[in-house]
Structure 1
Amino acid sequence: MSSAFSNGKYAIVGAGLMGRLLAVALAKRGARVKLFEKGAADAANSAARVAAAMLAPLAESAITEDNVVRMGVHSLPRWKQIIDELAKPVFFQQDGTLILWHRQDASDAERFASHLERNCDRNPSLSKPMHLDSQSLAEIEPGVAERFTQGLYLPNEGQLDNRQLLEALLVELTLMKVPCHWNQATDPEQLRSQENGFDWVIDCRGLGAKGSWNQPDKASKDLRGVRGEVIRLHAPEVKLRRPTRLIHPRYPIYIAPKEDDVYVVGATEIESEDLSPMSLRSAMELLSAVYTVHSGFAEARILEMATQCRPTLKDNLPEISVEEKPNHASLMMINGLYRHGFMISPAILDCALELLSSGSSPTAIDLGLQVSIAATSHQEFSACAS
């Protein structure tokens, strides 16, 4: 694939997760890359910074489409490859996901388990959930054995440290001497003119691209933000070994243990682009729920309460859009990763690289990723059915 990129010149607008992954991947393949970002190098305003970065296709299969699950399955081994090639270490774990519930929520848990098993029957690449009794639960996750007598274990699922990854990708860009234009708001359309000399302009701006996606001829796209809230805790008395999810009818939560006794806790998903601080209700519900999982959280220190909006298209599914225009650089827009950014981004990356290399993507067809291509006549067609 390297020869297809060695003489290419690429502009990438947006240096969140997808923008950094693409910039590093293209530079490693010999491309000449420039990266433009309206914010600072620390990605402080990126949706990728406020995330638990769980890689859990089976767990997510309860609430998302089959094609997103396939993207997640594809991405798990790719994450290990990507991280192993970085100069700076990134915490990566693939020890499965633990599902817990309190006695009063047993019926919800039973429905959840049945749903996952049906999904495994449809997708043989998923590992079936394992039902845990009190003894097997104590062996897998002794820290919760006092409060729970049963659970579900989802093998092979994983997680990574999102902030370490963003920093490691930045280090990689520096080592490869990729020109990065920080604190510079850039319109991708302006970069497409011949005088700039780019072969491709790639728009990875997330919600910053609303003006490009929500045009009259793209009314069905409806790019919007979906608010998420997370709390970061330092809890040395809690020793959870893997991401843990609590089934609850009102506030299901996830707890993702990172290095140095740091835990990322979240659950909320609100149809709003409000970026104000976390509400008292959300904080109380999250903290109350996490305490019911492990009493050691009572002495945890709150490091951060953060909010961010995830870029989401109308169908809650990701999409790659390609536009060709005479005497202009080709434009690729990548968006709509929603709440699954870390889970599926390597799959999106691989599809984008195939499209940039050859104009088609067998991987996108296999995974069911929507790719729309606008011809010079401005007539659009779908290259890959979702």
Structure 2
Amino acid sequence: MMTSASFSNSKYAIVGGGLMGRLLALALAKGGAQVDLFDKGGPDGAHAAARIAAAMLAPLAESAITEASVVRMGLYSLPRWKELIASLTAPVYFQQEGTLILWHHQDVSDAERFAAHLEKNCRSNSGLSAPQKLNNEALREIEPGVADRFNQGLYLPNEGQLDNRQLLDALANELKLQKVNCRWHTEINPSELSKQTSYKAVIDCRGTGAKESWSSGESPNSLRGVRGEVIRLYAPEVKLRRPTRLIHPRYPIYIAPKENDIYVVGATEIESDDLSEMSVRSAMELLSAVYTVHSGFAEARILEMATQCRPTLKNNLPEIRSQKDKGLADLILINGLYRHGFMISPAVLDCALELLEFDTSKTALELGLSLTQDNNRIEVVCA
């Protein structure tokens, strides 16, 4: 998309060193730019929403609950993830062996509605691969560990996942190799930073930390946090091969198997900025549900119970906003990736890079993002 010298002789500041900030800092540095990255936390990303995630890359599964533009971004991002991970020095676990959907007998009507919804979405988007219905024999071949408890399932081909924590570590390592000036444990206001005209642009990637920038009268699409809760388990007896989702009216859980018998389990989505520890009720529901999928989870060891808030805009869609004021560095705000951060971040990355280089984005238009412009501002907003 860009040549290695696209950003030569330019200087950028990025505030926020989570997933989006690291991806953008690395791309700009590889493009020849001088990059300063500021983050209130450390290189481990312990405070970032990206660290508490399953990192599933599942555009068809997510099409049941999100807009068509987000699905298109997810489809675009799958091959880009392969390229991005292949370019890193440190290895990152990446898998593209589809998603398995399961349900108990009493939830068969919900499963039928879910399958019909996915089939309808496939008819309207040729990039999606149609779901495959599995009887017990086919289920046993694809995922033998669950065939004794489930007689049927749904297989969504081509979907994937990666290891979010390996990726954050690998990106931090690559930033060091690319000589990005990483100012960890440094909290700074992007608007104040934009007054330093040595920067061509200041890019705000702070997630929920950027609330004040999205809640003014000029920006009514206010930013909020949506709480997510996950449990990490060590379960050597389970041996699931791919991300598995359980259709259930109360707790539709997901189980994402990582390397070395680690499983990330989650379900809850709460409209709250609360970052306190997981409740007993949430923990019991998650653990009870995961046990119904595979009895081997009874002997699993609980490694971690974690909570985090995903940055979410009013419409649950991502947005890139570019503010241009005379005498100041351009100020770019990227936010609202919600629960789809890993699924769509390469698409958002490429749109942001085009915007920085050309003041517009062909990729944004192709993926269904609308561009509006006035004398002082360009906005790229998900349609």
Q: TM above 0.5, one fold?
A: yes
Instruction: Please tell me whether the aligned partners of residues 368 and 384 of structure 1 are also in contact (alpha carbons under 8 angstroms).
Output: no
Which residue number in structure 2 is paired with residue 262 of structure 1? 262
- In the TM superposition, what are the counterparts of 1:208-357 in structure 2 within 5 Å? 208-219=209-220, 221-357=221-357
Quote the offset at 1:190 in angstroms. Answer: 1.2
Residue identity over aligned pairs, in percent, reads: 69
Q: 1:27 and 1:383 mapped to 2: Cα distance?
A: 23
Instruction: Please tell me whether the aligned partners of residues 36 and 186 of structure 1 are also in contact (alpha carbons under 8 angstroms).
Output: yes
Quote the offset at 1:29 in angstroms. Answer: 0.8
Quote the offset at 1:177 in angstroms. Answer: 1.2
Quote the offset at 1:218 in angstroms. Answer: 1.1
Q: Deviations over 1:276-314 (max 9, x none)?
A: 000111000000000000000000000000000000000
Q: Which amino acid aligns with 2:318?
A: P
Which residue number in structure 2 is paired with residue 16 of structure 1? 18
Instruction: Please tell me whether the aligned partners of residues 233 and 303 of structure 1 are also in contact (alpha carbons under 8 angstroms).
Output: yes
Q: Which of 112, 117, 120 lines up with 2:119 in the alignment?
A: 117
Q: Which amino acid aligns with 1:143?
A: G
Instruction: Please tell me whether the aligned partners of residues 233 and 301 of structure 2 are also in contact (alpha carbons under 8 angstroms).
Output: yes
Unaligned runs of 5+ in 2: none
3-state DSSP class of the match of 1:127?
coil
Quote the offset at 1:375 in angstroms. Answer: 3.1
Which residue number in structure 2 is paired with residue 6 of structure 1? 8
Q: 2:321 and 2:217 mapped to 1: Cα distance?
A: 16
Q: 2:375 and 2:91 mapped to 1: Cα distance?
A: 42
Q: 1:183 and 1:168 mapped to 2: Cα distance?
A: 19
Quote the offset at 1:32 in angstroms. Answer: 0.7
- In the TM superposition, what are the counterparts of 1:5-44 in structure 2 within 5 Å? 5-44=7-46
Quote the offset at 1:372 in angstroms. Answer: 5.3
Which residue number in structure 2 is paired with residue 204 of structure 1? 205
Q: Which of 186, 189, 205 lines up with 1:187 in the alignment?
A: 189
2:83 is the counterpart of 1:69 = no
Which residue number in structure 1 is paired with residue 150 of structure 2? 148
- In the TM superposition, what are the counterparts of 1:82-93 in structure 2 within 5 Å? 82-93=84-95
Quote the offset at 1:366 in angstroms. Answer: 1.0
Instruction: Please tell me whether the aligned partners of residues 323 and 375 of structure 1 are also in contact (alpha carbons under 8 angstroms).
Output: no
Instruction: Please tell me whether the aligned partners of residues 321 and 378 of structure 2 are also in contact (alpha carbons under 8 angstroms).
Output: no
Q: 1:70 and 1:340 mapped to 2: Cα distance?
A: 12
Residues 296 and 356 (structure 1), Cα distance of their counterparts in 2 relative to 1, 3 Å cut: same
Residues 191 and 85 (structure 1), Cα distance of their counterparts in 2 relative to 1, 3 Å cut: same
Q: Deviations over 1:30-64 (max 9, x none)?
A: 11111000111111000000000000000000000
Structure 1 vs Structure 2 CA RMSD: 1.1
Unaligned runs of 5+ in 1: none
3-state DSSP class of the match of 2:287?
helix
Which residue number in structure 2 is paired with residue 165 of structure 1? 167
Instruction: Please tell me whether the aligned partners of residues 134 and 153 of structure 2 are also in contact (alpha carbons under 8 angstroms).
Output: yes
Q: Which of 166, 172, 177 lines up with 2:179 in the alignment?
A: 177
Quote the offset at 1:374 in angstroms. Answer: 5.7
Q: 1:273 and 1:165 mapped to 2: Cα distance?
A: 25
Q: Which amino acid aligns with 1:265?
A: V
Q: 1:375 and 1:280 mapped to 2: Cα distance?
A: 53
Q: Which amino acid aligns with 2:211?
A: K
Q: Which amino acid aligns with 1:207?
A: T
Instruction: Please tell me whether the aligned partners of residues 365 and 385 of structure 1 are also in contact (alpha carbons under 8 angstroms).
Output: no
3-state DSSP class of the match of 1:211?
helix
Q: 2:8 and 2:379 mapped to 1: Cα distance?
A: 29
3-state DSSP class of the match of 1:217?
coil
Quote the offset at 1:216 in angstroms. Answer: 1.4
Quote the offset at 1:263 in angstroms. Answer: 0.1
What's the TM-score, normalizing by structure 1? 0.97
Q: 1:372 and 1:171 mapped to 2: Cα distance?
A: 37
Q: Which amino acid aligns with 1:23?
A: A
What's the TM-score, normalizing by structure 2? 0.98
- The count of aligned residue pairs is 381
Q: 2:160 and 2:374 mapped to 1: Cα distance?
A: 37
3-state DSSP class of the match of 1:216?
coil
Q: 2:354 and 2:290 mapped to 1: Cα distance?
A: 42
Residues 373 and 9 (structure 1), Cα distance of their counterparts in 2 relative to 1, 3 Å cut: farther
3-state DSSP class of the match of 1:72?
helix
Instruction: Please tell me whether the aligned partners of residues 318 and 370 of structure 1 are also in contact (alpha carbons under 8 angstroms).
Output: no
Q: 1:222 and 1:321 mapped to 2: Cα distance?
A: 13
3-state DSSP class of the match of 1:4?
coil
Deviating beyond 6 angstroms after TM superposition, the runs of 4 or more aligned structure 1 residues are: none
Instruction: Please tell me whether the aligned partners of residues 320 and 380 of structure 2 are also in contact (alpha carbons under 8 angstroms).
Output: no
Instruction: Please tell me whether the aligned partners of residues 322 and 373 of structure 1 are also in contact (alpha carbons under 8 angstroms).
Output: no
